[in-house]
């Protein structure tokens, strides 16, 4: 088997790497970047620091700070207008997955025209967009290293998966110091998203030996370090380890794909505005339990890598311990069920068939070790409700 791996051509990893942005813009021949960020970061100073850094290097710089959680096609189109209106030649995204995903979609439309839904999986993206430097401030979605973006269609509300090499950023800046002020809930949710990336990449039907190593190393680190970062926000060592692991998990899933948890998670996010990492967390234990029978050995490997199972545990025992540990971890990280999150019960059960259909259509469940039917997905949605 020959594996093809795609990652950004330039990656800067380490505390203070934010200050490498001007040098990278010079390497990429970018003179007029547009910063893509969210209103929170725009008012909290970090976007201003980046803008000043770029301006001091003698470059014109604009800021588009209208990105929203669960980025929409309307916001992407507003970003395209800002890009064209300011005569920009490159993108610098700053924030969690949403600003980075927004910048990817802006670049895609700048190069190809049309609407984000024209490029929804399984459609292809013909041309790469302008140079894009991605700077995550969470650890994280891994979007800085992936060839995916997730955009909500403003007409209809579907959370669309868009995939293709043209979405890979030109450079990723992985600076853990940007995550030091992340609040507890965001730390837990984005960290669990990373853990889900690592586990799903490892059990994916499209896994390969390269992504396996990335995934195992990432899940081992995340399992130990996430509770430390959650309980002790200022723990720099935990933050640094989490940041690197989130990027490694991103590399793993970008090249091996995610699976059923992500397939089911997107519709929950689209219908009920549950943050992405949190809807993953709501699903991860039950979906793992459902999937184990088709790939006991790989799930047992996860349990061993994460230090959950003893070296001499049989696969079945290791898998049982994994499921139990995932449920316990959700309690520790205060993950609510959909019901306790406050979702209206009648509406949740009413849309289950639509969520199941959207999950299947995204293609992710087909990478799962156990490929579910629509009815099995519906059963899992019912199972995690309370």
Measured from the CB atom, is 176 or 253 closer to Fe ion? 253
State the minimum distance, in angstroms, from the CB of residue 192 to Fe ion.
9
207 with 234: CB under 8 angstroms?
no
For the packed helices 296-305 and 315-332, what is the interaxial angle rounded to 10 degrees?
60
Measured from the CB atom, is 51 or 70 closer to Fe ion? 70
Measured from the CB atom, is 193 or 240 closer to Fe ion? 193
The reply to whether omega before 144 is within 30° of 0 (cis) is no
Stretch that binds Fe ion, among 57-65, 109-117, 131-139, 186-194 (CB under 5 A): 186-194
For the packed helices 276-291 and 184-203, what is the interaxial angle rounded to 10 degrees?
40
Measured from the CB atom, is 193 or 301 closer to Fe ion? 193
Q: For 87, left (φ over 0), alpha (ψ -120 to 50), or beta? A: left
Stretch that binds Fe ion, among 25-33, 99-107, 187-195, 229-237 (CB under 5 A): 187-195
**Residue 93: in which H helix or E strand, if any?**
strand 90-95
**Residue 104: in which H helix or E strand, if any?**
helix 97-112
According to DSSP, residue 371 is labeled: P
**Residue 237: in which H helix or E strand, if any?**
helix 236-256
C-alpha span between 193 and 39 (Å, rounded): 23
Measured from the CB atom, is 158 or 193 closer to Fe ion? 193
3-state SS, residue 370: coil
State the minimum distance, in angstroms, from the CB of residue 212 to Fe ion.
19
Pick the binder of Fe ion from 175, 193, 200, 240 (CB under 5 A).
193
State the minimum distance, in angstroms, from the CB of residue 153 to Fe ion.
19
State the minimum distance, in angstroms, from the CB of residue 262 to Fe ion.
6
Stretch that binds Fe ion, among 117-125, 175-183, 189-197, 286-294 (CB under 5 A): 189-197
Stretch that binds Fe ion, among 14-22, 191-199, 224-232, 310-318 (CB under 5 A): 191-199
Contact between 240 and Fe ion per CB under 5 A: no
Interface residues toward Fe ion, by CB under 5 A: 193
């Amino acid at each position: 088997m020959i594996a093809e791996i795609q990652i950004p051509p330039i990656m800067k990893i380490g505390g203070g790497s934010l200050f490498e942005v001007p040098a990278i813009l010079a390497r990429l021949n970018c003179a007029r970047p547009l910063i893509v960020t969210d209103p929170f970061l725009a008012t909290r100073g970090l976007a201003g620091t980046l803008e000043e850094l770029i301006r001091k290097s003698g470059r014109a710089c604009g800021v588009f700070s209208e990105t929203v959680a669960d980025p929409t096609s309307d916001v992407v189109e507003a970003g395209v207008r800002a890009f064209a209106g300011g005569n920009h030649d490159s993108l610098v995204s700053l924030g969690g997955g949403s600003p980075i995903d927004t910048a990817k979609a802006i670049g895609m439309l700048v190069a190809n025209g049309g609407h984000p839904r024209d490029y929804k999986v399984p459609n292809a993206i013909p041309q790469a967009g302008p140079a894009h430097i991605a700077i995550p401030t969470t650890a994280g979605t891994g979007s800085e290293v992936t060839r995916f973006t997730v955009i909500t269609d403003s007409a209809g509300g579907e959370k669309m998966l868009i995939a293709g090499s043209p979405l890979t950023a030109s450079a990723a800046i992985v600076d853990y110091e940007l995550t030091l002020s992340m609040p507890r809930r965001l730390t837990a949710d984005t960290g669990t998203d990373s853990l889900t990336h690592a586990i799903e990449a490892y059990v994916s039907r499209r896994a390969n030996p390269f992504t396996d190593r990335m995934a195992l190393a990432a899940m081992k680190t995340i399992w130990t370090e996430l509770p430390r970062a959650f309980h002790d926000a200022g723990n720099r060592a935990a933050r640094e380890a989490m940041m690197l692991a989130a990027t490694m998990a991103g590399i793993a899933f970008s090249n091996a794909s995610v699976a059923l948890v992500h397939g089911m998670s997107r519709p929950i996010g689209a219908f009920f505005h549950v943050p992405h990492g949190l809807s993953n967390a709501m699903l991860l234990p039950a979906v793992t339990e459902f999937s184990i029978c088709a790939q006991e050995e790989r799930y047992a490997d996860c349990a061993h890598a994460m230090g959950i199972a003893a070296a001499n545990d049989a696969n079945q025992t290791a898998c049982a311990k994994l499921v139990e540990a995932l449920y316990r971890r959700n309690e520790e990280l205060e993950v609510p069920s959909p019901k306790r999150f406050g979702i209206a019960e009648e509406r949740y059960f009413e849309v289950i068939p639509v969520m199941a259909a959207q999950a299947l259509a995204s293609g992710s469940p087909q990478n799962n070790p156990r490929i579910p039917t629509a009815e099995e997905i519906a059963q899992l949605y019912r199972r995690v409700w309370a």
